[in-house]
Structure 1
């Protein structure tokens, strides 16, 4: 049956359009407080994002274009056709927003209103893309500055965490008016991860097609007053070490130190609270590894993004009611050993999989992971509780811990992610020594190297580290380098990273080639 018969449209095109069941919901355009920034997104030039301050509270207001009555009716007709008049295709299901971008005008021609739609193309394109995308939350989902989107329940405004903002979170003008509306959105969100929430299984965790991690509590089974959800967004491309140096998260000296430990296949652990930037730092440090290394990553939800050619990507699977077996991290760490990896990277260890990872690094594989905790002491306490039988072996294999936190810059008020301490672990005859190698001094707002309170040149820092770092001394043996050669390698890497930042070489592809050239030139030098 044709769309014309379903909607009982007149056979001849009439300027007066019929009513439809689809009604666009425009967000309130009222801007609270004092505006301090305004911007648009390239894909949605008609939508303004306005940041303002209302009595010390940050506000994130999405100002959408107004719709005339005729535009509303055209919108309704287009959606009628999209939902009920088209046969679903793989292209439409895989990327509905892209499908709309490419086919909106042809759909308009099919329903006999091509000319009218062309005259109102930009406004209609936004609202139709919004509908097939993430609805009233479309803009925060597409805004690259938004790191996290939080929905606490119906009637309560959605909040966002904005990168580089002085506000911990900002209140938006996005509100779900009822539990029914919110529950439908949560269902839509969950289904894009391949899972569906219901009262029997009210908790959903998964990854959206864009790589964003979501958590949903459905209805009022486990949360009050009802459905809630949280989306942690991840950038389309991974941050590189030079980018984190540029943002002040780490320094060239810290990066060069960790680079040498990782090349020697020592075991490094990143420690921090939720949202502190553990995964971002982990991913950035992986960009320093030799581009030809074979890397196996193991995660609960696929978050890490690498461009290494020899990258094996594993993630866990929960058991299902249809009989599929649960595959946990311990299973994946075990099977990864069959892939002859140079490095085994576990996104975050939470349980006894730490035991298998420790045994893997003990056999010569490089290892790195992140751990939820406050400092190095927390790591030892929790690992001893998880696998007491392997606590001593864990301490003997661990080379360094990197503690990262979210802190507020006292000068700008902005919340920043910063490595506040890098500790070196030495284990001899049952005794564990923790030596702070790099420490962030909050008063002077700079890093101290070991017990030196002076600003050291790269050469002086290299000499101090080589003389006093037991892990670097061990790394020199594993890499087959003299201490003098290791000092030179440290200086070269620190200078390479500083040069990358100075020259704006932060994009992964360009920086990766810089790393390739470094290793290639080093190999040529060795042959001479």
Structure 2
């Protein structure tokens, strides 16, 4: 049913599907009026979500403006008693009461909730008109008008002037046309997301931003970098294909996601994310094809594949994280607690730390935490508030550090250190001028001579990348055993190249999971596994 609502943890969610009046408060006075009614019904609201084929979410500041209007409405009706006859007309002026009561009724009950700016403008104009009439009429009529102005119109005007919304537009109302909603569109900017995804995003680039760079990731994801006056950080504006689909495709994806939610993964799918992704991709492709056919929607093979990839990304994958990590220029991704209040930040190779147009939700954070627990086999709870693990997604690998209470008082937070999907090699390092040919030749010579090497450096200095490149200098006839507390070395890629390699995982020095062996025990075990090249991670 249209405009049904639910209230969960301070979030008011209103179903606007099939609404004939639109979806957003900035475009429709009916929708704004409905939202005000719902606020009055549920009271303590921190965020508002209007859901159709997309979800339009108003953050705390925008919600507070609507709550203020709701409070004004409630105060005028229930405390001020603005519609009482004693306020409408003075003694002896009862004959004017029906007209003024109807006017006040229209102003407060009909207009104030849906168009508070228009209501304020009408009140101001009405006060000005009646004050002019008071100067030109007889004493009796002047007394009646003054009572109406002072006891009805002025309280409405003063109550509205105290709200943030009216304060923002008060100086811009000359010549304002009642019913025009352009001012609302300037003030209210909901974060938009399709129904099938949790992450919110800013749909439009920042105002006054100057674009300094633009590039694409793959074939369909657009990245724009903006410099915003008065801000230190650059703004990283990413627009993957799932943000630009037509409504009919959003509906297809949402229906397909609901069907796929009933799929129960097997144990093998839990332990092998790549297999799970492949299963979901195949199921999604067939499902979308059937749904499109049943709805008379024609899809090309490329469109079908694109929708299937998007669907698998938000079911078997990590959603928008995968899109970010597929950008080779991103070095780190930061998701700070409390999640839902701040955007994702990134460390960019060219523009250093940037703010993004993506804001994850608490549901995102909880879903990621569950996946990381499952994939790593390590706990993440108040007794074990740190989790170190590795994330492998199409086109990228990343080291993950997750924190939660009690270490983080504001709850879950994440840091992702991106690694190349294809390992670094010494020639690649020479190409980017990280090392010179002499250094590369010397290191290769030392490895051929079976020397022991120690690679040390500060954070982000490239220790793991250099170690991975040196492993490629080991001849394939030698067996390799690696010991790491967090799996970062390119073992999978080395296996694909034909290396005989065994990987061991030791207890993290941070998390101290009792079910895992400490580093010294893992080292002793590695020595018992036969002659091999021994690689010890940090």
TM-score (norm 2): 0.53
Give secondary structure in 2 for the equivalent of 1:106: helix
Please list, as runs of the form range in 1=range in 2, the aligned pairs for 1:28-67 lying within 5 A after superposition: 28-32=202-206, 33-42=209-218, 45-55=219-229, 56-64=232-240, 65-67=243-245
- 1:107 corresponds to which of 287, 291, 310: 287
Work out whether residues 507 and 519 of structure 2, in 8 Å CA contact, stay in contact via their aligned partners in 1: no
Cα distance per residue 1:131-188 (max 9 Å; x no partner): 22222333113223323211112211111223xx2333222111125x4553344334
Q: Distance in 1 between matches of 2:306 and 2:444?
A: 50
Q: What is the aligned partner in structure 2 of residue 203 from structure 1?
A: 386
Matched residues in 2 for 1:160 and 1:101: separation? 28
2:517 maps to 1:327: yes
**Structure 2 spans left out of the alignment, 5+ residues:** 1-51, 56-193
Shift of 1:297: 1.6
For residues 326 and 186 of structure 1, the distance between their equivalents in structure 2, rounded to whole angstroms, comes to 20
Match of 2:360 in 1: 176
CA distance in 1, matches of 2:442, 2:450: 13
1:157 maps to 343
Report how far residue 256 of structure 1 moved. 1.6
Q: How does 1:80-479 map to 2 (within 5 A)?
A: 80-84=258-262, 86-89=263-266, 93=270, 94-95=273-274, 96-108=276-288, 113-114=293-294, 116=296, 118-119=298-299, 121=304, 124-125=307-308, 127-132=310-315, 133-153=317-337, 154=339, 155-162=341-348, 165-177=349-361, 179=362, 181-210=364-393, 211-218=397-404, 220-305=405-490, 306=494, 307=497, 309-317=499-507, 325-348=515-538
Q: Distance in 1 between matches of 2:503 and 2:269?
A: 27
Deviations 1:97-156 (A, max 9, x none): 433433324213555755556536467445423422222333113223323211112211
SS of match in other structure, 1:339: coil
Task: Give the alignment of 1:1-20 within 5 angstroms.
Answer: none
Judge conservation of contact 1:193–1:209 (CA < 8 Å) in 2: no
Aligned residue number for residue 195 of structure 2: 23
Equivalent pairs counted in the alignment come to 323
- C-alpha distance in structure 2 between counterparts of 1:292 and 1:139, whole Å: 38
Residues 297 and 185 (structure 1 numbering): CA distance in 2 closer, same or farther, change over 3 Å?
A: closer
Offset of residue 207 of structure 1: 1.9
Q: Tell me the C-alpha RMSD between the 2 structures.
A: 3.4
Q: Which structure carries more relative contact order (alpha carbon 8 Å, separation 6+)?
A: 1
Structure 1: gaps (5+ residues) = 1-17, 349-528
Equivalent position SS for 2:503 = strand
Q: Which is strand-richer, 1 or 2?
A: 1
Q: Equivalents in 1 of 2:437, 2:525: separation in Å?
A: 35
Tell me the CA shift for residue 89 of structure 1: 4.5
Could you tell me how far 1:198 is from its partner in structure 2? 2.7
Residue 201 of structure 1: CA displacement?
2.7
Give the Cα–Cα distance (whole angstroms) in 1 for the partners of residues 345 and 360 of structure 2.
12
- Cα displacement string for residues 321-359 of structure 1 (whole angstroms, at most 9, x for unaligned residues): 9x97531221222222233434222112xxxxxxxxxxx
Alpha-carbon distance, 1:258 to partner: 2.2
The equivalent of 1:496 in structure 2 is none
Secondary structure, counterpart of 1:302 in structure 2: coil
- 1:299 Cα deviation after fit: 1.0
1:249 Cα offset (Å): 1.1
TM-score, normalised to structure 1's length?
Answer: 0.54
Work out the CA distance in 1 between the residues paired with 2:438 and 2:204: 48
Note closer, same or farther for the CA distance 1:51–1:122 as it changes in structure 2 (3 Å cut).
farther
**Equivalent pair of 1:160/1:169 in contact (CA under 8 Å):** yes
Q: 2: CA distance between counterparts of 1:173 and 1:339?
A: 49
Q: 1:298 to 1:50 in 2, by over 3 A?
A: same
